[in-house]
Amino acid sequence: MDSQVTENAKLAEKYKEDANQCFNNQDFNQAIELYAKAIELNPNVAVYYANRSFAYLKTECFGYALTDADKSIEIDKSYVKGYYRRAAAHMSLGKFKMALKDYETVTKARPNDKQAKMKYTECNKIVKKMAFEKAIAVDDVKKSIADSINLENIVIEDDYSGPKLEDGNVTLEFMEDLMETYKKQGKLHRIYAYKILLDVKQLFMKQSTLVDIAIPDDSKFTVCGDIHGQFYDLMNIFKLNGLPSPSNPYLFNGDFVDRGSFSVECIFTLFGFKLLYPEHFFMSRGNHESQTMNQMYGFEGEVKAKYTAQMSELFTEVYNWLPLAHCLNNRVLVMHGGLFSRDDVELTEIRNIDRNRQPPEEGIMCELLWSDPQPQNGRAPSKRGVGVQFGPDVTKNFLEKNDLDYIIRSHEVKSEGYEMAHDGKCITVFSAPNYCDSMGNMGAFITLRGKDLKPTFVTYKAVPHPDVKPMAYANSLLSLIC
């Protein structure tokens, strides 16, 4: 019996070494499988769980990462890396107070660890800032950033030669000029940036939480998934599929920003087209169109670097008004995340969501932004730690209840850029190829025609971009993760 235990322990170590190699090669899913094999053979080794936790962090399975970090600490309460991993998982989920406790444990165990001290200090700053903002917030009268902006006080410098709005309006010429300027790493003047944000906020405020889109029989319609600040890949989509226009309408299904370091360029391009073609260009909110995500994953830092802190607050206001879902010809529902923890959700309930807020941690608004499909029937706790995982039976019941054909969602990296799950009734589309310059995935978009709404997939590889690394503007605490 002892020899078998020894043999298992040796083999488990071999799996761990192989997993570490896969991790170093950025094959995180294979690493996760190999760590799991090591755990199966020898389940009482803290490092196996901590390593798998790190791999889960890399694949954005923050819920699983948290569970594994907890397990590594349960096995060995003095295992410092376990606390590091748990802190990173808490940070990724925006649970800053809980992360702070773990960083405190690390700094006490390693008082000379400069990196641990820095992370504790940074996390402490965020917690204090949030406490301060909560203390000064007035619940009944929250002053709008939009109302405090006076465009007449903004001066256009004589040497500015970039794109200019025509009589305050977006035109096709302006959009073409803007995209060319961005390709050359130029910048839009802040007066026009603010004007676009103020105008697009007014436009989104008039839209429903669930937007109905009518696609004529012979017309093409394109659905794109996550863009994540990959501006040059966004330009490639337009090159492959044509610029947006009344005869070439688009729906971008959330996560326009964060991670990629050209998020400002992406969002102003998308908002510009929304203003130019309000009835033919659509945008859904993703889980990254939120203040907490933007604080952590780069967008807030990028806006502050390229513009102002005030503008980053205005973006938060605008994002609160983004629609949460779109329905194509009353047959196909499109949302960023997925379905629900309840079986009785109807489209009317989605229409009636009060969306002008930061995403809650539970309920149907949260699930629209965060949920993921799973292959087995039923539901399970989310691998991300937010939302729910839902099976083919859940999709089937929802479609039957609401007289729909299928759903389209985004939110997950897929190696081919898309995936058809749940007997073809749950389609994932992800439009950021070689996500974070490291995943090696294809990007994809979906085209369909009004008469049959049959999805056609177009896939493409990443294109070159200027030498600015992903997460260049992200919070320094995330250096543990990315």
Exactly one of 189, 228, 288, 411 is catalytic; which is it? 288
Structural tokens at position 318: 């605008």
Structural tokens at position 64: 């699983």
Taking the chain, what is the end-to-end CA distance rounded to the nearest angstrom? 42
Question: What is d(CA 25, CA 34) in angstroms, rounded to the nearest whole number?
Answer: 14
CA quadruple 336, 342, 343, 347: dihedral positive or negative? negative
Task: Reply yes or no on whether 288 is catalytic.
Answer: yes
Question: What is d(CA 211, CA 207) in angstroms, rounded to the nearest whole number?
Answer: 7
Question: What is d(CA 339, CA 349) in angstroms, rounded to the nearest whole number?
Answer: 13
352-367 burial, b at 16+ Cβ within 10 Å, e below that, comes to ebebeeebeeeebbbb
Residue ranges of alpha helices (H) inside 184-308 are 190-205, 231-241, 263-276, 291-297, 299-306
Question: What is d(CA 14, CA 136) in angstroms, rounded to the nearest whole number?
Answer: 55
For 275-288, give the DSSP string.
HH-TTTEEE---TT
CB 83 within 8 A of CB 102: yes
Question: What is d(CA 348, CA 295) in angstroms, rounded to the nearest whole number?
Answer: 33
Q: Report the DSSP beta bridge partners of residue 176.
A: none
Residue ranges of alpha helices (H) inside 334-478 are 347-351, 364-370, 392-402
Dihedral pair phi/psi, residue 337, rounded to 5°: -95, -85
Q: Report the DSSP beta bridge partners of residue 281.
A: 250
CB 122 within 8 A of CB 128: no
User: Which of 11, 12, 82 lies closest to 47 in space, CA to CA?
Assistant: 82
Identify residue 272 by its one-letter amino acid code. Answer: G
Q: Report helix angle 46-58 to 28-41, nearest 10.
A: 160
Residues involved in catalysis: 288
